Amino acid sequence: MPFQALGLAPALAQAATDLGFSRPTPIQEAALPAALSGADVLATAQTGSGKTAAYVLPLLQRLLPQIGQAPRRVRALVLVPTRELAAQVGEVVRSMAQHLPGTARTAVVFGGVSINPQMLALRGGADVVVATPGRLLDLVAHNALKLGSVELLVLDEADRLLDLGFAEELQRVLALLPAARQNLFFSATFPPAVQELAGQLLHAPVRIDVPAAPVEEAVILQQAFLVDSTRRTQLLRQLIKTQGWQRVLVFVATQYAAERVASKLHQGDLFATSFHGGLSQGARKQALEEFKEKRWDVVVTTDLAARGIDISQLPVVVNYDLPRSAVDYVHRIGRTGRAGASGLAVSFVTPASMAHWRLIEKRQGLSLPLEVVPGLEPTEEAPVSEPGGGIKGKRPSKKDKLRAAASSPPADPQQP
């Protein structure tokens, strides 16, 4: 089905074609008619499925009648959780907007860099703002922009924005927006609790769930290796060299681990660098661009790179540390096998993390054999703990405790 058959303006249909979409992807085919009709949308689709274009196209079509009119007011707001995703979305908006008869001005704002250039860029107003919540609130506090004219709100990686880490900032942003607006919430995953919260913010939403096509599910080969925690770096180095991996994205649990593992790999004659939230925005941008240009063999990262970062033809992803949840596992391995390309996702399972791995397998419907590399047979023993201890989903997490505290009745001051 061509884009114009979905109700898209000819200029935007041509923009989609120029960006490489010969025909609508399943998420675009399902979401465009609903979004173009003005309905609220709650959409779930796998990473690399074209979700960004699925909301950018109707966003720009909504702006068409008033593009270029003075004074410019923010009519569309796209909220994202990370700087990298903000830059990526901004690039898509600008690429598609250049095909329009008028000039749609797009501002991309995020923290980690000086606020002054962003304030200067907003002096002439903007039609579209792509932002992380914290920096957006900073700019509002500096009177650099107002949100009272927003007609369309998009949450990209909505499950993360609705989570407790962003909940307070998101509520402050929502309080600044007009009540009468269209809302488009997109993500690769929507856990039930987050989906329930999203439903409270939407009005009669069109719910769209585009599952991964079976042929694409097989594109990512998944493997798991049983290894002692102290020998994971040795195993990683050995696999990279013996398997001939050209570019590898390695996920670890902390910023410290990212620096440590990257340093050890570099000492082992591999071009490795770290990528995490503790780096400056310039350093992060440079590392990512150089990795895309194949100037690094290995990038060791935290879950910062698990969402919203598109690296074409990335062949291998490694879970050096297992993700905290099955949802994070989906986002991590989704960095490879994109746009129909093949990919490999490898997980290192230590004796101590065996129970957690089994939980991830269960929730993902997996049953992977645990491979052992000769010479690196594990000798560590799993720690003895109470059933469910340390496994996300079987013990109260910090978020669970916060929710429980929020729902508990206040203490009676008369009680001793």
Higher-pLDDT residue of 307, 402? 307
Residue 140 CA to residue 145 CA, distance in Å, equals 5
| The pLDDT value given to residue 218 | 44
**Residue 75 confidence (pLDDT) above 90:** yes
Count of alpha carbons within 13 angstroms of residue 134, beta-carbon side: 10
Question: Which CATH code for domain 3-210?
Answer: 3.40.50.300
Higher-pLDDT residue of 24, 408? 24
Task: Give me the percent of the chain exceeding a pLDDT of 70.
Answer: 88
Task: Give me the percent of the chain exceeding a pLDDT of 90.
Answer: 49
Task: Give 165-199 pLDDT, tens digit per residue.
Answer: 788 899 999 999 999 999 999 988 777 777 787 88
| The pLDDT value given to residue 79 | 96
SS3 107: strand
Task: Give 94-139 pLDDT, tens digit per residue.
Answer: 988 887 777 889 999 998 889 999 999 998 889 999 999 999 999 9
| The pLDDT value given to residue 396 | 54
Total residue count of the chain as it appears in this document: 416
- Mean pLDDT lowest among 84-98, 207-221, 340-354: 207-221
Closest to 303 in 3D by CA, of 53, 52, 81: 81
Residue 395 CA to residue 60 CA, distance in Å, equals 45
For the ranges 338-342, 368-372, 386-390, the maximum mean pLDDT occurs at 368-372
Task: Give 2-28 pLDDT, tens digit per residue.
Answer: 888 888 888 888 888 887 787 888 899
Higher-pLDDT residue of 234, 7? 234
| CATH T-level assignment (fold) for domain 214-371 | Rossmann fold (3.40.50)
Closest to 360 in 3D by CA, of 316, 392, 317, 396: 392
Where along the chain do its domains lie?
3-210, 214-371
* Tokens coding 54: 């699925």
Q: Do domains 3-210 and 214-371 have the same CATH topology?
A: yes
